[in-house]
Structure 1
Amino acid sequence: MTEQELVYGLRNGDEVAFKELVLRFQDRVFNTALGLLQHSTDAEDIAQEVFIQVYRSIHQFKEESLLSTWIYRITTTKCLDQLRSKKRKKRFGFISSLFGADNTPLHEPGEFNHPGVQLDQKEDAALLLKLVDQLPENQRTAFILNKIEELSYREIAAILNTSEPAVDSLLQRAKQNLRKKINELPP
């Protein structure tokens, strides 16, 4: 099924087209969400929300970009909205339940398990993603889309609704900030 046939089928409520959509994009959507959220349950929830939104709003897809770009944009937006929502909740009282009197975490984050990372590299990947998570939102998003999802600057620019030079700048700043954070780690 071509992309145009897929979009046509979705616009006409075709179940086969929806199944094809999910089969074609489920791994990419889940992996992108997992990279941004770093929690598999949250990534699964976002993936479901993405496919529901795609199905409900397919009539708004203008076909000015690839369907995959539009889906990445929806995924990224939903993930960033969830991260912002979590940060707001923390500000309003949950922070005290997560941190002790000396500001040390009472709970460690869950185990990191990204399907694209080999077992012997999981510890390094988990540490790197903890550092990536400390980057400003736009740098973090560009970094994950480029380094984990292996999207081109053009694709990232379309997803983030910015220019390719702006993506390059975001990635350069992300790399500089990560180098600084890595150098600050204890030996």
Structure 2
Amino acid sequence: MGKYAAAEGDASASIGMAEFAEVAGTYRPQIFRFLLASLRDVDAAETLTQDCLLKAYRNWASFRGESSVLTWLLRIAINLQKDHWRNRRLQFWKKTSTNSVDAAEASSWLPSGESSPEMQVLARDQVRLVWKAVERLSERQRTVFMLRHVEEMDIHEIAGTVGLSEGTVKAHLSRAMVKVRAELGGRS
């Protein structure tokens, strides 16, 4: 069960501020990374990460321990992300470009082993193309794709996080990969 076995094993366990600070410190980077990769908006990712941790703290007693703490936290983050997208669609007049992370800027965050500037430009272009393709995926395909390729979760963990069977996760992941490859012209 891991580091938080006592809390995971006892569904009625309450958690103190200091103990939850340790949980938050452990899992915050993964939650933020997932939300940033999904939203590509630093401010929104930071806000939703804080909302996720606050919601988890308030609802710790309802955590049944049927999954890992990370899986439970990512499930909360996914639900908050869905709410965010729903609200964003309703507020279509709001311009997101002022707060969004530019694809070229995001690709520069990735470590590059290429030695020449030309190779670095090509790598950034490839990352930009992948992000554009991922943005066009359905919400469920995008979520499964991000959990697999950004968070490097295995199929079983993804299934538990999104509440789907492993076969359904595999199907969504396969369809997502086909779509991304098709948009990249088979270059991936």
Question: Residue in 2 aligned with 1:110?
Answer: 101
Whether the 8 Å contact between 1:69 and 1:158 is mirrored in structure 2 is yes
Residue 13 of structure 1: how far off its partner (Å): 4.2
Residue 128 of structure 1: how far off its partner (Å): 1.3
Whether the 8 Å contact between 2:37 and 2:150 is mirrored in structure 1 is yes
Identity %: 24
CA-to-aligned-CA distance 1:116-165 (integer Å, 9 cap, x gap): 72254444323312220110011000000001100010011011111111
Residue range with higher mean Cα deviation, 53-62 or 115-124: 115-124
Residue 71 of structure 1: how far off its partner (Å): 0.6
Question: Residue in 2 aligned with 1:62?
Answer: 64
More helix by share: 1
Question: Residue in 2 aligned with 1:163?
Answer: 165
What TM-score do the two structures reach when normalised by structure 1?
Answer: 0.81
Task: Evaluate the alpha carbon distance shift between residue 59 and residue 122 of structure 1 in structure 2; reply closer, same or farther with a 3 A threshold.
Answer: farther
CA-to-aligned-CA distance 1:9-28 (integer Å, 9 cap, x gap): x9434222121011100110
Aligned residues: 173
Query: Where does structure 1 lack aligned partners over 5 or more consecutive residues?
Result: 99-105
Kindly report structure 1 stretches of 4+ aligned residues shifted beyond 3 Å. Answer: 5-8, 10-13, 106-110, 119-123
Let me know the Cα RMSD of the aligned residues: 2.9
What TM-score do the two structures reach when normalised by structure 2?
Answer: 0.80
Q: Does residue 2 of structure 1 match 2:3? A: yes
Query: Where does structure 2 lack aligned partners over 5 or more consecutive residues?
Result: 113-119
Residue 178 of structure 1: how far off its partner (Å): 1.1
